[in-house]
Every structure is written in C-alpha cells, then in structure tokens.
C-alpha cells in the first residue's frame, strides 16, 4: 500500500479551506493507503502561541480529524511533538539545505512581512515539514495549493540526500486538487482563507454555529455587478462563493452557474449558507460525541505506531550521515 502523510497546525480554528483543500482528501484516502495524519504542534510554535490555547487547539484538531470521518483503526493520528524523530531529522536536513533555498519560500516572506521579530523556526519551517514527510517514506502528500513550494523543496532535499548518501528516502509527490485547492478569504478574496488571519470574518470554521456561518457568508465581499459567474480576475469574491457551493454540493461549476442564472448575490449567499450549515452539522454532531479521554487515547496509540516507523528511518539517516549509533 502506498503511504500518505499530511499535517495541520493547531494554530487556531480549523476552517473550510483546510477541510476542502486538504482534510476532506484524507478521509477519501484512508481506505486504500497507509495514512499518517499529524497535528503539527511544533510548526505552530514558529509564531507566538498562548501555551494554554495551543494545548486546547491540539486536542480540538485531533478530535476534528475523527469528527470528519478518519477512522483510527485505519489511519495513524498523532501529535508531532510526541515523536521526537521529527525535530531530530529536521536538524539533520537543515544541514543539507541552503540558506538561499529557504530565503525563497513565499510562506516565510508572507508570514514575516512587517513583523519586528521573526523566529528562526519560521525560517527553517520547511525543513521540519520535509522531516515530517520523509520520516514515513511517504508517497503522497495531500495539501492545499499554498504548500506546493514546500513540497518541491522537500523533493529536492530528498533527492539531494539520496545522491549524497545513497538511496534512502522515497521522493514524495504532492496531491493537490485541480479545483478547490485554494479557498479564498471571504473578506479579501485576493488572499487565501487562513486560521491566522486577524479578521475572523475571513473564514468559516468547522465548529461555527449556524447563525455565525450565515452572518459570515452574508458579509462576504462580492462586486458591484450582479451576474453570477466564475471569473477569478474580475469577480474573485463571487468566484470563491461559487467554488464553495460547487465543492460542498459536488455539483460542477457550470451546473452551479446555471442554477443561479438571473438571480442575485443574495440568493447565492443564502443557499450557500444553507448548504454549509447542513454539511458542517454532521461534523459538529460527531465532534460533540467525542470524549477528551478517547481522543487522548487515540493520540497515544498513534504516537506509538508513528514512532516505530519514524525511529527506523532516523536511524538509517544517522548512520548514512556518519553519526555512530548508541
């Protein structure tokens, strides 16, 4: 079976961009792949976090993995910091990554822009991500479009390591949706929807209640025309809403355009809110039924399974790089 790895940061409220762009694919992959899904808490530390909130969000995200339909009997769900091999391999990979390569990463440029103090961890983030993926000899990495550049770098690092030290890592392939891999912010549709955006109206969270979902959709930015059609250049806001409708209903965009032909933005927004509320209700119900103890037990077992695989890879890497084993 081919291996799959992906991670989500517990940096805030999980939103429909995370779900549609990445997490929904996890559920589809679990039946015919060997999957590792991680709550990447070490990545979250690259920007300031409130320790108490980080702990809560870590458990919440693990619970959401279960609530969207991941089955811990089929997949390994774990917390990154529970498997020390991630941080260790990240260091080793930092030593074969060039400063120039990391300097070109757009996520670093965007997240450090205008900030007075930027952590070194934010700069070396891509090496930790490469470590996450390469430890499991991953074939496929389902992610949103914004992670494409980091995946390219991971591939380059894997190939470089294999060339220098002998065949070790599987060179992973990104799995990025052709449609829906970049959900845009509701308040500024030129930016992607993000957990860390200061404006809570930029996103709809998986755990938002129905009235808030409706409010956020009704406030979403559109344009001064009234035609409902997909046109990312001229109508990014409406295009984003159409995309969301299409993804949640699994209708194709032309069908959605036809459905709303001649109607106003108000109708599109109202119906979109209905659809989102209905789809998220299922996840929210599942979430409510999960106990904290159960989630913690899933994470404990997940860490043990992940560690067994990760330690093996790390050992091989250390030996090849010239470190002596204990």
Beta bridge partners, 8, equal 39
Nearest CA-CA partner of 90 in 53, 55, 119, 133? 133
CB of 26 to ligand ATP, least distance (A): 10
10 appears as a binding residue in the annotation: yes
Alpha carbon separation from 285 to 67, 68, 218, 289, 313 (Å, rounded): 8, 10, 24, 7, 39
Based on the residue annotation, tell me whether 52 is a catalytic residue of this protein.
no
Q: How many residues does the chain have?
A: 326
Greatest CA separation for the chain = 72
CB of 37 to ligand ATP, least distance (A): 11
**Residue 304 phi, psi dihedral angles, 5° rounding:** -65, -45
CB of 226 to ligand ATP, least distance (A): 26
Based on the residue annotation, tell me whether 111 is a catalytic residue of this protein.
yes
Residue among 74, 109, 115, 192 flagged as catalytic: 192
Between 193 and 317, CB nearer to ligand ATP = 193
Report how far residue 232's alpha carbon sits from residue 166's, in angstroms, rounded to the nearest whole number. 45
Between 8 and 130, CB nearer to ligand ATP = 8
Residue among 111, 216, 235, 269 flagged as catalytic: 111
Residues that bind ligand ATP (CB under 6 A): 8-9, 11, 17-18, 21-22, 143-144, 146-147, 181-183, 192-196
* Residue nearest ligand ATP by beta-carbon distance: 21
Assess contact for 5 and 138: CB atoms under 8 A: yes
Residue among 28, 115, 195, 215 flagged as catalytic: 195
For strand 75-79 and strand 34-39, is the pairing parallel, antiparallel, or unpaired?
A: parallel
132 appears as a binding residue in the annotation: yes
Assess contact for 35 and 23: CB atoms under 8 A: no
Based on the residue annotation, tell me whether 192 is a catalytic residue of this protein.
yes
Between 192 and 216, CB nearer to ligand ATP = 192
Judging by beta carbons within 10 Å of its beta carbon (0-12, 13-18, 19+), is residue 54 exposed, middle or buried?
middle
Assess contact for 221 and 188: CB atoms under 8 A: yes
Between 192 and 269, CB nearer to ligand ATP = 192
CB of 318 to ligand ATP, least distance (A): 29
Binding positions for L-tryptophan: 132
Annotated binding site: 9-11, 17-18, 132, 144-146, 183, 192-196
Catalytic residues: 111, 192, 195
């Amino acid at each position: 079976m081919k291996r799959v790895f992906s991670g989500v940061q517990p940096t805030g409220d999980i939103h429909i961009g995370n779900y549609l762009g990445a997490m929904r694919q996890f559920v589809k992959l679990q039946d015919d792949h060997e999957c590792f899904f991680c709550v990447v808490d070490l990545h979250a530390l690259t920007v300031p976090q409130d320790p108490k909130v980080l702990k809560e969000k870590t458990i919440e995200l693990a619970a959401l993995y279960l609530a969207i339909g991941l089955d811990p009997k089929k997949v390994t769900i774990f917390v990154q910091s529970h498997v020390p091999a991630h941080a260790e391999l990240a260091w080793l990979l930092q030593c074969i990554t060039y400063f120039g390569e990391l300097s070109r990463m757009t996520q670093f440029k965007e997240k450090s822009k205008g900030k007075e103090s930027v952590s070194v961890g934010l700069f070396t983030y891509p090496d930790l991500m490469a470590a996450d993926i390469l430890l499991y000899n991953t074939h496929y990495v389902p992610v949103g479009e914004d992670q494409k550049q980091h995946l390219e770098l991971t591939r380059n690092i894997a190939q470089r390591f294999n060339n220098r030290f002998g065949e070790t890592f599987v060179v992973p392939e990104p799995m990025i949706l052709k449609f829906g891999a970049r959900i845009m912010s509701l308040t500024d549709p030129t930016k992607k929807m993000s957990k860390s955006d200061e404006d809570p109206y930029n996103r709809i969270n998986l755990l938002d209640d129905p009235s808030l979902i409706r409010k956020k959709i009704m406030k979403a930015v559109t344009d001064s025309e009234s035609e409902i059609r997909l046109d990312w250049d001229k109508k990014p806001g409406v295009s984003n809403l159409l995309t969301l409708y299409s993804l949640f209903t699994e209708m194709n965009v032309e069908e959605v355009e036809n459905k709303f032909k001649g109607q106003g933005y108000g109708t599109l927004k109202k119906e979109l809110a209905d659809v989102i509320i209905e789809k998220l209700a299922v996840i929210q119900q599942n979430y409510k039924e999960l106990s904290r103890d159960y989630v913690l037990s899933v994470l404990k077992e997940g860490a043990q399974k992940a560690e067994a695989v990760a330690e093996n890879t790390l050992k091989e890497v250390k030996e090849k790089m010239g470190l002596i084993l204990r």
